[in-house]
Amino acid sequence: MSQPVTSAMELVRNTKGELTPELPSQFPFRVSSTPSSGRCLITTREIRPEETVLSDSAILLGPASPLVCIVCCCFRPGCGKCASCGHMLCRICEGSGAHDSDECQALTKCTFTRDMYNVILPIRFGLLKHRDGEMFEWLMQYMDHNEERNKNKEMRESTDRMTSIVSRVVPGIDKELAWKIVGILFTNCFEFKLADIEARALYPLVSLINHSCIPNMRHTNLINELKSEQLEGEIVVMKLEAQRTILANTELTIRYNDYMMGHIQRQKFLSEQWFFNCACERCRDSTEFGTHTSGLPCTTSGCSSGFLLPHTGKSFWSCCKCGLKVADEDIEKIEDNLVQLSERKPEPYNIRTCLQQLHSLSKILHNNHFIIINLKQKFLFSFSINMKKIRDLEPEQRKKLSPLFLAQEKYCRQLLTYHEVLDPGQSNIKTKILLELRKVLLIQSRVLTDDPNTTREDLATKLMEVKNLSYLVYEKVPL
């Protein structure tokens, strides 16, 4: 299903006859290229935090589940099937004619099976060649990584089966072209779940944006209503907002991975999925901006305060104190054992056993190690304060729980600092932690009122902090 490009990008041919994008003058970036990144987007002016940089509509959309409508990619109760090709088709899309005869005929030739939904997007890509030749030509310039991907036997065989189907059912698409199409989709598509939607989308401009583990933009999938004289309905849009101030002539970046992964996990994920080793600012800094979130304890006897830290582009980690070098594969084994240890659910599962697990690992790992951070965050939300239950307790019972409240406050503040360093700007997780911190401070203020020795100044200070946190949360002011 081809969709209108709300980004208003136009394709024009240069003097060499090559297709190039022409962007509206109000766009704060231009399409460029660098030796290290290839094609990319570069800012043309300073961009302020939280400014919307781009809203890019999906040019191709396909289902990411056999249970959703193949057109709108929504799960709708009572969703029927196309009488010809057998794929899921809701009543709204069936009546709209969006599932046209060319697409239906191609899918009918495939012979319906439950997992055949995976070829719908490649087929739509192939049909785009005759529907919008210039857009097809532009998309065919995207990176496919087929050479690297084909080194994996399972992936190569899966892709071969898919390309055989696409080249057989789509007129004008031979096997070589089908390989290119499938490779481009594997490399550039975004898969997401949003409300009742499970979809894969290809965006004409977002696909040009490169990765950084400390990106300057945050991306969000949205459903926008479209109303015009020619079209009416909904379109899938990716919205990109600046996480912090971005200076002119800066490459725009987004994150492909989870920033709470350690160095080994991030590099492995990016290498296996996108076939590159990241050398962004965070990956080049062995301390990861002073967090030591990947650092492991030195194994040299007598080096109690040293940490083994990564070095991008090198096959070893080294101790920041004694200089000991340890091979990457040995580091990975150590980390895997620690991750497995942290994932064991304490029995019985309660506040005491979870804190014991956390404290035992804290004796080994840095306070900001990603394993410790994940455990603290899990603890914080697993044992979130129930305000009503705490209010109903007797003053002495609340006083006995004061150490727990202090620990929760400490974890909240540490987590907020950690997230702000590695993911600057406003985020949902920070808002959740701020709400937890606000609850903790409210309970602490109640404990203060229970104590006859509490001064008016102490209580006023605590309540003022609660008020300030309420402002941060409800006004959505970035930390």
**Strands, E assignment, 99-213:** 190-194, 197-202, 210-211
Residues 88-135 have pLDDT tens digits of: 999 888 888 889 999 999 999 998 888 899 999 999 999 999 999 999
35 preceded by cis ω (within 30°)? no
pLDDT of residue 224: 62
Q: For 262-317, what is each residue's pLDDT tens digit?
A: 999 999 999 999 999 999 999 999 999 999 999 999 999 889 889 999 998 899 99
Q: What pLDDT was estimated at residue 7?
A: 59
CA atoms 259, 264, 265, 266: torsion sign:
positive
Task: Write the pLDDT tens digit of every residue in 4-33.
Answer: 334 578 899 988 888 888 999 899 999 998
Residue 225 has what pLDDT? 53
What is the pLDDT of the chain when averaged over all its residues? 90
pLDDT classification of 209: cutoffs 50, 70, 90: very high
User: What would the DSSP string read from start to end of 307-358?
Assistant: EEE--TTSSEEEETTT--EEEHHHHHHHHHHHHHHHHSPPSS-SHHHHHHHH
Q: pLDDT by residue (tens digit) across 307-334?
A: 999 998 899 999 999 999 999 999 999 9
Q: Return the number of other C-beta atoms located less than 10 Å from residue 318's C-beta.
A: 19
Asked whether 250 and 219 are in contact (CB, 8 A), the reply is: no
- Structure-token pair, residue 101: 């005869």
Kindly state the tokens that stand for 377.
Answer: 């965050």
pLDDT of residue 473: 65
> Are the C-beta atoms of residues 184 and 141 closer than 8 Å to each other?
no
Burial class (CB in 10 A: 0-12, 13-18, 19+), 415: buried
Please give the pLDDT value at position 312: 85
Average of per-residue pLDDT across 189-196: 89
pLDDT of the residue at 478? 47
How high is the pLDDT of residue 382?
94
Measure the CA angle with vertex 216, ends 220 and 145; round to 5°.
Answer: 75
Token pair listed for 132: 């919008």
DSSP state of 277: -
Q: What pLDDT digit, counting tens, does each position of 218-237 carry?
A: 998 876 654 444 444 567 78
Residue 203 has pLDDT above 90, yes or no: yes
Is residue 372 within 8 A of residue 366, CB to CB? The reply is yes
Q: Whole-model pTM above 0.75?
A: yes
pLDDT tens for residues 349-390?
999 999 999 999 999 999 999 999 999 999 999 999 888 888
For residue 196, what pLDDT band results from cuts at 50, 70 and 90? Answer: confident
